[in-house]
Amino acid sequence: MSKLILGVVVVIGLAVSSPLQAGQTFDLRDASIEDIDESASFDLFGANGLVVTVSANIGELNRTSSAFGINAPLTGDDTDTIDAINGIEAVILTFNRHVLFDAITLSLYTPEPSAAIEDIAGLTIGAFPTVYPVAINPAVDPYSFTSDNFVAIGQSVELQWVQGNGFSFDNFTVSVIPEPSTFALLGIGGVALVGYGWRRKRRQVA
C-alpha cells in the first residue's frame, strides 16, 4: 500500500515540475509587421501553438522604420508611437495559452531632463495592479518581470500612454505554461485508485 502511494506521489511530482517552455520574443519593429499592420488588430504566431492577438484601443496599429505604435483617427497624430494627441492610446495583447509575461522593450521613452515632460507608460499584466516603468535611456529601455506576471487565457496585457510625448512598443517576451501532461492525469487517476482500494480493504476488515 505504502509503495503504491509513493509511486503516485512520484508521478504527480514529475507532472508538477514540468519546466516552462522557452521564452519567445515577438519583435513589433520587424519588417514583416508591415504586411499585417494598418489595422485595428492582427495575430502573431509563435512556437508550441501560441497565438498572440495585438490590438489597438483606437485607430490602427502602425509599424514604421523607426517605431511601433498607433495611428489614431483625425489629423496631427504621431502615427507610430503610443501617445495621446488624438485620445489616449493603448496596445492590448491577448493570448490563447496561459503565459508568463517576461519582458518588454520600449524606445523613444524619454526621461527628464532629456524631455521637458518625462514619458510615463502604464503596464497592466493580467489581473495584477498597473505598474509604471521608469524611463532611463532615451534610446532603448528593456524591462524584465519575475513576479506578478502570470496571464491566464482570457486576460490581457495592456500598455497605455500616461504622460509625455509618446513612445514606441518595440518587443515583448513571454513563456508558455505547459498544458497538464498525461502524467498528471495518470497521477490523479492513481490517487483515486488508491482511495478506492483503501476503502474496499476497510470494508473487508469490518
Q: How far apart are CA 59 and CA 178, in angstroms?
A: 35
Across 11-18, average pLDDT: 42
- Beta pairing partners, 51: 45
Same domain, 99 and 119: yes
- 64 has pLDDT over 90: yes
Higher pLDDT, 200 or 126: 126
Q: Tell me, what amino acid is at 171?
A: N
Same domain, 142 and 205: no
Per the prediction, the chain carries an average pLDDT of: 84
| Cβ atoms of residues 78 and 69 within 8 Å | yes
Domain residues for the domain of 92 are: 20-177
Same domain, 168 and 156: yes
- 197 has pLDDT over 80: no
Determine the Cα angle at 165 with ends 160 and 169, to 5°: 45
- 183 has pLDDT over 50: no
| Cβ atoms of residues 7 and 161 within 8 Å | no
Same domain, 203 and 101: no
pTM: 0.79
C-alpha cell at 183: 502524467
Same domain, 55 and 4: no
pLDDT tens digit string along 2-14?
Answer: 544 444 444 334 3
Same domain, 148 and 206: no
The one-character DSSP state at 82 is: B
Q: Which residues of 63-76 are buried (b: 16+ CB within 10 A; e: fewer)?
A: bbeebbbbbbeeee
The domain that holds 132 is classified in CATH as 2.60.120
Same domain, 188 and 113: no
Predicted pLDDT of residue 204: 55
Same domain, 37 and 103: yes
Omega before residue 113 within 30° of 0, cis:
yes
Number of residues in the chain: 206
pLDDT tens digit string along 68-90?
Answer: 999 998 888 999 999 999 999 99
* 156-163 and 90-95 strand pairing: antiparallel
